[in-house]
Amino acid sequence: MKNSGLSRQNIYVLIASLVLLIVVLLFSFLVLIPKGKEYRIKRSEMIKVKKEALRYENFNNNTLSLLKKLQGDNRYTITALSTQFSEERFLKQHQQYFNTLTLSKKVTGEKEGEFITYDVNTSSKIASPKSIYNFLDALNKSDWIIGVNFPIKFKRENGVIYSTFSMKVYSNPTTDLNSSK
């Protein structure tokens, strides 16, 4: 027998290499390539989800910064809405603008939209109409949100001006419910 240059050992290595090559090719075609297609599909879906999540996060951040800005700009209004109306405190704060100031009985809260309103009818004795204007300016800086219903009726008797007007005090319904408990 002539030695053809391939030893038995080389033939075994060649057969083992061929078997290993076939196993690698089968593994590639049966496992890796189908999983690779699935991976690419899921990766593209994940990229879309990431973009959408980033868009929602940006929207959330913009909305939160706008909310914080509005809360800062309107903190006095928010505080005023959460303060429950008190006749005694109102009289104490605004008595200085009038000789006498009386409030008629307030009507229990009626719901008007999102707010509870109290109708408060006032009558006062003043020396000059200027004190009414000072009073209206002070209402803008008071602890409550108050809307004065016009016209203000003036009547002059014996050097004293009597004025009557009505106003609405707006209050947050959740605050009034919490404070009544």
- Determine the pLDDT at residue 113: 59
Q: What is the pTM of this model?
A: 0.49
* Residue boundaries of the structural domains of the chain: 1-73, 82-179
- Determine the pLDDT at residue 21: 94
CB environment 128-161: b (16+ within 10 A), e (fewer):
eeebbeebeeebeebbbbbeeeeebeeeeeeeeb
- Determine the pLDDT at residue 109: 54
- Determine the pLDDT at residue 179: 46
- Determine the pLDDT at residue 3: 54
Per-residue pLDDT tens for 24-49? 999 888 888 888 888 889 999 999 99
- Determine the pLDDT at residue 117: 63
Low-confidence ranges of the chain (pLDDT < 70): 1-4, 104-123, 127, 172-181
- Determine the pLDDT at residue 51: 96
Beta-carbon contacts of 117 under 8 Å, excluding residues fewer than 6 positions away, are: 109, 110, 168, 169, 170, 171
- Determine the pLDDT at residue 4: 62
- Determine the pLDDT at residue 1: 46
Entry field: residues in the chain: 181
Pick the CATH number of 82-179 from 1.10.3470.10, 3.30.70.60, 2.60.40.2130, 3.40.720.10: 3.30.70.60
